[in-house]
Amino acid sequence: MQGAGTGLKLVSACLLAWGLAACGGGGGGGGGDSAPAASAGSSSSLASSSSSSSSLASSASSSSSSVKPVPAGWASYTADTLPTAAAAISLGDGTTSSFKLCASTGCNAAYASVANGILSVDTQSESTPAEQSYFQYDNAFSTAGYPKTATVLTRMRGNAVANLKGLTLDMAFSQPGESGPRVQMSLLPDNDSNGFYLSQIDQSATGDNNVYAGNIDATAWHVYQVSVTFTSAKTGTVRVYMDGSSTPIIDKTLTDFRQATAIGQNYLRIGEESTSEHAKGDFDWVVWTSDAAYTPAQLAGKLPAAVGAVAGYMGWSAYTGDLLPTATGSISRAGQSSTQFKLCASAGCDASYASVGSGLLSVDTTTAPLTSQTYFQIDDAFSTGGYPKKATILARMRGNGLAGVKGLVIDSAFSKAGESGPRVHLRMLPDNDSHGFYLSQIDQSASSDQNVYGQDIDATAWHVFQISLSFTSATSGKVEVYLDANPVPVISQNFTSLLQATAVGQNYLRIGEEDTSGAGRGDFDWVIWTSEAAYTPEQIKGLLPSGLGTTTGY
């Protein structure tokens, strides 16, 4: 997986390149940026002889009725090792597996290498185009009968060489004892306006039975999502999405799907299958599941953590200041229906000190009674599951130029049902306070001042605050606060006795003014949050929700 050093993978643009298979496929190739250089010292290399790899189950044994059920959830390959390496594949039940090298006489793994979290396959130097270099994982999809569904996503790219095709993503979905549907996606050369296609998929067509996509930049990374629903071995629907767009590039319901070449074939293949052409391309990662034929919106924030932040699939919730927080639909949620904040419920709560104008939420309690509050709360804002749990919150906000008047608050609680969990409460200080901002009472182990302070800032200016949180229990975890996308956090501290939510089960995000002993004044431009991970600024650059406006540094 690219970016293995950070543990997460930035995916601002992603491409799935696919070649044609020897088991029935034509030409085509992909173009793309050159892969990370693979030297003997920095990359792994497979043995060039296919005899060193286990044979693929393509005989009658592959049609046995004793096929192990496919685990629910995601299976994933992140290219941190060669596909044939032990535990190269992580399965949904927590176990691991690996691909096998193709077993035909022309199979040669020497054309594949791994470097910098990328699997590269380049067969331009093969002695004959009849050679192949692909990897197969058997029993990849459900064999529990029809109807059946699957979703496969991959980050891939081709190459910039004219007329040179890219790689292959090839899937077969047979039941034991039958030759079932097969979906093979091939990336065409970068100079081919058809972009990519599903090879020979429409067997009802009297002429060309390929289904084409349209022109793409094959030199760039893209994320391709293939979602399939089969009602029988020959009928069903296939949709292909790119980069998380809600509109599929290919959307076909067919009555005569291409069939697997042998009884019982059920597999996922990646690499180069053609026996008549050369190919070149790269895989960053591949994930697959038989749980459903998902849309991109349904997967927002729900891809395996191992693939990191993925453009078009980020699970952000967002408030943009265009409506009062309590207005219907003020919060957009990736893959879910919109919702809204509610006004605080204490006796001193008063919404009249909040206003919205020009896309900004302003709160000013300098004229309010001292005990009044004006804050807004969304419940169950974060994961209510067990530990470990993570979250990232970003807000573009500013304070004021009044001496002694604090700014506003971002207050978050992370309890699971039946407990009082951790609470992180960031507040901007007055502009004339050199501490800038602080996390209120966060360090309960401190014998005196339990606040943790930031740094001197211009409180009258706009800043983007990023709070990244990793909790290992209700009382312990790491809190980092970044300012304006600077990669060095202003606050980075591990805690063993975190501030707790004030009531059992509290799980919320609050914005506004909570103080009952002093006034506050400031503005929010936008606030976004996710329970996916505790991201660094670098990991989410270019991956914030659209429509936020100014996102300094991101």
pLDDT, tens digit (0-9, with 9 covering 90-100), for 279-294: 999 999 999 999 999 9
- Taking residues 381-408, report their average pLDDT: 96
pLDDT, position 299:
95
pLDDT for residue 65 is more than 50: no
Q: In angstroms, rounded to a whole number, what is the distance separating the alpha carbons of residues 511 and 529?
A: 12
Mean pLDDT of the chain: 89
Using one digit for the tens of pLDDT, what is the confidence trace for 448-506?
A: 999 999 999 999 999 999 999 999 999 999 999 999 999 999 999 999 999 999 999 99
- Are 114 and 85 contacting, i.e. CB atoms less than 8 angstroms apart? no
Query: Of 317, 322, 365, 316, which is closest to residue 344 (Cα–Cα)?
Result: 365
- Are 220 and 160 contacting, i.e. CB atoms less than 8 angstroms apart? no
- Are 484 and 465 contacting, i.e. CB atoms less than 8 angstroms apart? no
Would you say the C-alpha torsion 311, 312, 315, 319 has a positive or negative sign?
positive
- Are 110 and 102 contacting, i.e. CB atoms less than 8 angstroms apart? no
How many angstroms from the chain centroid is the CA of residue 493? 26
- Taking residues 367-378, report their average pLDDT: 96
pLDDT, position 546:
87
- Taking residues 207-215, report their average pLDDT: 94
Question: Cα angle vertex 8, ends 550, 477, to 5°?
Answer: 90
pLDDT, position 59:
35
pLDDT for residue 311 is more than 80: yes
pLDDT, position 476:
98
Q: In angstroms, rounded to a whole number, what is the distance separating the alpha carbons of residues 411 and 395?
A: 12
- Taking residues 36-65, report their average pLDDT: 35
67: pLDDT confidence band, cut at 50, 70 and 90? low
How many angstroms from the chain centroid is the CA of residue 199? 28
pLDDT for residue 145 is more than 80: yes
Q: Is 524 exposed, middle or buried (0-12, 13-18, 19+ CB in 10 A)?
A: buried
Q: Helix, strand, coil: what percent of the chain each, to 5?
A: 5, 35, 60
Using one digit for the tens of pLDDT, what is the confidence trace for 312-360?
A: 999 999 999 999 999 999 999 987 789 999 999 988 999 999 999 999 9
pLDDT, position 118:
98
Using one digit for the tens of pLDDT, what is the confidence trace for 6-22?
A: 434 434 333 333 333 33
Other C-beta atoms lying within 10 Å of the C-beta of residue 488: 9
Strand partners, 357: 360
Q: In angstroms, rounded to a whole number, what is the distance separating the alpha carbons of residues 33 and 54?
A: 32
pLDDT, position 342:
98
Residue 438 tokens, joined: 């602080």
pLDDT for residue 303 is more than 50: yes
Residue 454 tokens, joined: 């930031």
40: pLDDT confidence band, cut at 50, 70 and 90? very low
Measured CA to CA in angstroms, residue 19 lies from 185, 214, 222, 227, 262 at distances of 7, 16, 16, 19, 20
Using one digit for the tens of pLDDT, what is the confidence trace for 491-541?
A: 999 999 999 999 999 999 999 999 999 999 999 999 999 999 999 999 999
pLDDT, position 336:
79
pLDDT for residue 47 is more than 80: no
Q: What percent of the chain has pLDDT over 70?
A: 88
* 336: CB partners within 8 A, 6+ apart: none
Residue 332 tokens, joined: 């957009």
Measured CA to CA in angstroms, residue 377 lies from 10, 340, 499 at distances of 31, 9, 19
pLDDT, position 335:
75
3: pLDDT confidence band, cut at 50, 70 and 90? low
pLDDT, position 50:
32
- Taking residues 83-111, report their average pLDDT: 95
pLDDT, position 73:
94
Of residues 463 and 67, the one with the higher pLDDT is 463
Q: In angstroms, rounded to a whole number, what is the distance separating the alpha carbons of residues 192 and 194?
A: 5
Would you say the C-alpha torsion 288, 290, 296, 299 has a positive or negative sign?
negative
Residue 81 is given by DSSP the state S
pLDDT for residue 25 is more than 50: no
pLDDT, position 334:
81
- Are 473 and 424 contacting, i.e. CB atoms less than 8 angstroms apart? no
